[in-house]
Each structure stands twice: as structure tokens, then as C-alpha cells.
Amino acid sequence: MKTRVIIVRHGQSTYNQQKRIQGHCDESELTPAGEAQARQVGQALVGIPFDAVWASPFKRARKTAEIITAELKTAIPDLVAPTFSDNLKEISLPLWEGVPFTEAEAQHPEIFDQWRTDPANMVMAVPQPDGAIADFYPIRELYQQAARFWPELLAAYQGKTILIVAHSAINRALISTAIGLGPERFNNLNQANCNISVLNFADGWGSPVQVEAMNLTSHMGAPLPEMRRGHKGPRMLLVRHGETEWNRQGRFQGQIDVPLNDNGRAQGAKAAEFLKPVAIDAAYTSFMARPKETAEIILQHHPGLTLHSVNELQEISHGEWEGLYESEIESNYPGMLEQWQSAPETVQMPGGENLEQVWVRSIAAWKEIIAAHSGGDTVQTILVVAHDAVNKALLCHVLGMGPESFWRFKQGNGAVSVIDYPNGIDSAPVLVTANITIHLSGSVLDKTAAGAL
């Protein structure tokens, strides 16, 4: 029975505004803008049947949770007040708390560099009450804290829908530990103030987890999260094509060139309107009809751009499964469909591809695109429109995950994801936001056709 967990970061705080490091320091409070953001989150979440709200006890998260809960109670009158957990506290940074980022970097340049480039091994020498000095690994400790929280929550709310309100670093640790990432990937995820992330657990702790959406911010006005300070490399907009009739029917498409249906064209138009205010510098697509038409619809608001077709971005070849329904596959290939759904990296499609082949070709094409738009004088934003399996491969690649993690990410028809390369092709990528579909249905939840894959 699926357990849905929606994770929100607190609204803008006084220390956020002043660009100070917060950590365990509890002097920071929500600004008026932060309170407004919290109300916007509450309004965006109205209609989702929450069973409970959990939050960090720190003032900035506590107030955010209370504001959101008040908004939700208009639709869920019996929703109880938030439960507060120390396991949702922000990262402890004892040498820096309350200090401006610039001062922390000037005072401890080596530690600050570790924080940005080698988070798993970031270490602080911290004085102890007895006068001794002890090494403290803040991010390792944070991931242990997140791993302690999940079993407690999931055991208590199996099959329920839970809201968590916490902080940037602990939210990244929660998402990471849920999908099997360690502290070395801490900086590969982004968490903006009052963003919304959605995780689906198939069962309790240790069961498969799907990221339905991550770091959604468009409910607060701007379509996409801001780039981090000092960003120099390309921003990649990864879009899945709109719906086809075979998506709607639940038939396996693969490399059969099924076109968009009317709803798919409408989804393309909504994605185009969503991305209209975003300056796009170059555009690439799979050569197949459904992504190509989706890209062409989006580019109607960006005249003058050439749309480049890339063979390696075509959908996975399902071989003999193409055109079939799941029931037909189970009948003709007993047990293989369950194997595909539980251990996809082990499946060789009869007459088609395996996921390793999809990984190799799609990532090679992706890297070529990034390299072509790195190293210039200006930051470029690049549109790439492709397919469900290809997009999942690219999202996994960004986080260092292989084909065994194929089902970790949901990709709705017409969905938008964003990946930043802060210093171009040679820099570690940042998954800024994943599977935005709010422009399609008005909901933070993905309501596109499940399709078949």
C-alpha cells in the first residue's frame, strides 16, 4: 500500500535574507515574504488528503508548518497540529552558525571548499566540554539522522499521506537516503525556500521509492528555481513528450513512431506557455515524432532557434513488446514483466535493447550537448525533449545512479525537469527540479497518463 510523503522547506528566513548560515541556530525567523510563501504552499497543497504533518522544531520550520496546516484545515478540519521531531532539525555546523557565508569561507577556506566539493568528508574540529578537540562530520551525521527518521515515520503511517516541513540540508538528506544516495551526493540536489517534493514509498522503509516530483517552486510565481550564485555553465531543461494514444491506452511504444494525440498537443502547448518566460538558447530532440512535435510547439514562443535531432535520444527499443498491452506481454513472456518492474537492469528486451544500452547512448549524447554549450562567456539554457526511459536514464546519471535505479524517477507527459552544470561539462551536475507537471493540471501531483513502460 503506497505511502506518499510530501516534503517542504521552510519559507524565507531573516538569516536567508541576510545570507547567514543557520544550522542549529534558532534565532532566525520567517520574514513577511517567508510567511507569504508558506501560505502559497498551503494553497498549492489544498485538496491532498493529508493524514499528519511533521516538522522540525526550529522556529522557521515550525512557523511554516503552522501556516501550511492552517491553510490545509480549510479542507481537512480534523487535521491535527504538527508533530515536531529532533530528527528533522537542520544540519549542525557549530563553527559557522549565525555567521555570513562570506565570513565562513574567509575564516575556514579548506572546510568551506570541502562543504562544496567533498561533503561526505567535510570535517570540523570542534571543542568539547572537557577542553578536548574532536572531529565532527556534519553531513555524515545528517544522513544518519535522516536514516533514523524514515523507519519511525513509515511504520506509523503505512498507506497514508504525510507532510514534512524542515530545512534545506535535512530535506536533501531525507530524499537522498530514501532513494539510496550517500552523503557524497549532497550537493547534487537543490532545495529552495518553500519548495515541494513528492516521494512515493511502495511499502515501509527499505521498499522501492519513487520521486514523483522534486523542488517544485512554480506555485510561488517564477516557473523555475533560481540558479545558484556564481553559476557559469549551462542550464538544461529536460522535457518528456506529450501524451500519445498509446500512452493513454497503456500500450508499449518503444521505437514505434506513435504521434501525439490531441491531449498531447495540448500538453505541449501548456509546457510552451510555462517555459515562455525562460530564455532558451538552443534546442535538441529525439528525431521521433512525439518529442519532435512537442519541441516544435514549445519553440513557437522562441522563434529563430534551430531544433537539432539526435538519434541517440530515441526511446528504448522494446523489441517484440512494442504495440502490446501488459496482459499480452505477461501471456507471451511469462514472468518477464514482473522482472522488468522489479529488476529492470537484468532484462534484455526480446528483439530489443537493455537498459545499459540506453544508458550508454543517451548519456553520450547528453554529454556532447553539454560540452557544446560550456565554456562560453554567457550562461546558456538548453532545451532537450525526449522520452520516458531516456529521461529517467539522464536523471539517474545526474545523481550517479545506474539502470538498477530506473524506477526511481517519474516522468509525466509534458513534464519539465532542470539540471544545472555550475561550471560546465567538468562540474558536478545539480538536479534543480524534477517532473514539474503543475502547468498541466494545476496540481503539484503528476496526473498525466500512467502509460506503459
Catalytic residue, candidates 90, 212, 293, 315 = 315
**Sequence-separated (6 or more) residues with CB below 8 Å from residue 290:** 241, 242, 244, 257, 258, 259, 260, 264, 387
66 is catalytic: no
Q: Determine if residue 87 is labeled as part of a ligand binding site.
A: no
Residue from 257, 316, 266 nearest 292 by CA? 257
241 is catalytic: yes
- Burial (CB count <10 Å: 0-12, 13-18, 19+), residue 428: middle
Q: Determine if residue 14 is labeled as part of a ligand binding site.
A: no
Helix axes 262-275, 289-298, angle to 10 degrees: 40
Catalytic residue, candidates 10, 167, 219, 241 = 241
Helix axes 168-179, 138-156, angle to 10 degrees: 70
Q: Determine if residue 20 is labeled as part of a ligand binding site.
A: no
Q: Which residues pair with 417 in a beta bridge?
A: 238
Q: Determine if residue 359 is labeled as part of a ligand binding site.
A: no
Cα–Cα distance measured from residue 358 to residue 354, given in angstroms and rounded to the nearest whole number: 7
CA 30 to chain centre: 25
Q: Determine if residue 241 is labeled as part of a ligand binding site.
A: yes
Tally: H helices and E strands in the chain = 15, 14
The alpha carbon dihedral of 390, 395, 401, 406 has a sign of: negative
The alpha carbon dihedral of 20, 26, 32, 37 has a sign of: positive
| In contact, 10 and 26? CB cutoff 8 Å | no
- Burial (CB count <10 Å: 0-12, 13-18, 19+), residue 101: middle
Q: Determine if residue 205 is labeled as part of a ligand binding site.
A: no
Cα–Cα distance measured from residue 141 to residue 138, given in angstroms and rounded to the nearest whole number: 5
Q: Determine if residue 243 is labeled as part of a ligand binding site.
A: yes
Q: Determine if residue 290 is labeled as part of a ligand binding site.
A: yes
Q: Determine if residue 345 is labeled as part of a ligand binding site.
A: no
Active-site residues, by number, are 241, 315
Residue numbers in the known binding site are 240-247, 290
Residue numbers in the known binding site for substrate are 240-247, 290
